[in-house]
């Protein structure tokens, strides 16, 4: 049995019957202090992978979310592909590879000079800016994390 503790934990100073080795573990952050007899059951809490706001793939997706709009055209949110290319650091062949990867994953579709966020990913839209009260990429990391990993394969970092 494994218990993960993210907040403060108060444990009694005695154990009526000590658990057998491997039967009981306390997964707590390194900053949590455990005292005897609980320290024998401590295991490190695995840190979840999260968004790197300075990563090129994350910045690319942030800019895509910032620029795609519904005004000026009907249907899905979109923007001019050259505007997206000009507003972020992924250029040339890298840009084409990233857009192709996103299209193959079903995140975007490209029609002539426009790039559109597909309806399937509209519910997972986030704010590309750090705006209070708005969802960020880190809030939807279960959805965007695997996509970021695929984009990273296309980038020369």
User: Are 67 and 8 part of one and the same domain?
Assistant: no
Same domain, 60 and 128: yes
Rounded CA gap, 13 and 26, in Å? 15
| Cα distance between residue 83 and residue 132, in whole Å | 26
Residues 80/60/153/97 CA torsion (nearest 10 deg): 10
Q: Identify whether residues 24 and 85 lie together within a single domain.
A: no
pLDDT band with cut points at 50, 70 and 90 for residue 73:
low
pLDDT of amino acid 8: 66
pLDDT digits (tens, 9 = 90+) for 92-119: 999 999 999 999 999 999 999 999 999 9
Write down the pLDDT at residue 1: 55
**Do 124 and 141 share a domain, yes or no?**
yes
Q: Does residue 33 sit in the same domain as residue 83? A: no
The answer to whether residues 31 and 98 belong to one domain is: no
40 and 64 share one domain? no
Residues 26 and 91 both lie in one domain: no
Say whether both 90 and 112 belong to one domain: yes
Q: Specify the pTM.
A: 0.68
61 with 43, same domain: the answer is no
- The parent domain of residue 34 ranges over 1-47
How many domains does one find in the chain? 2
88 in Cβ contact with 63 (< 8 Å): yes
Whether residues 145 and 97 share a domain: the answer is: yes
DSSP state of 28: E
């Amino acid at each position: 049995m494994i218990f993960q503790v993210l907040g403060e934990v108060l444990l009694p100073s005695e154990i009526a019957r000590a658990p057998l080795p491997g039967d009981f573990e306390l997964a707590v952050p390194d900053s949590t202090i455990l005292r005897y007899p609980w320290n024998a059951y401590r295991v490190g809490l695995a840190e979840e992978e999260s968004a790197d706001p300075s990563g090129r793939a994350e910045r690319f997706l942030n800019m895509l979310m910032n620029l795609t709009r519904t005004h000026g055209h009907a249907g899905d949110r979109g923007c001019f592909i050259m505007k997206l290319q000009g507003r972020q650091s992924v250029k040339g062949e890298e840009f084409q590879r990233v857009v192709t990867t996103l299209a193959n994953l079903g995140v975007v579709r490209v029609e002539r000079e426009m790039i559109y966020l597909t309806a399937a990913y509209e519910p997972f839209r986030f704010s590309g800016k750090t705006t209070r009260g708005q969802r960020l990429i880190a809030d939807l990391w279960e959805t965007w994390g695997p996509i970021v990993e695929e984009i990273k394969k296309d980038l020369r970092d």
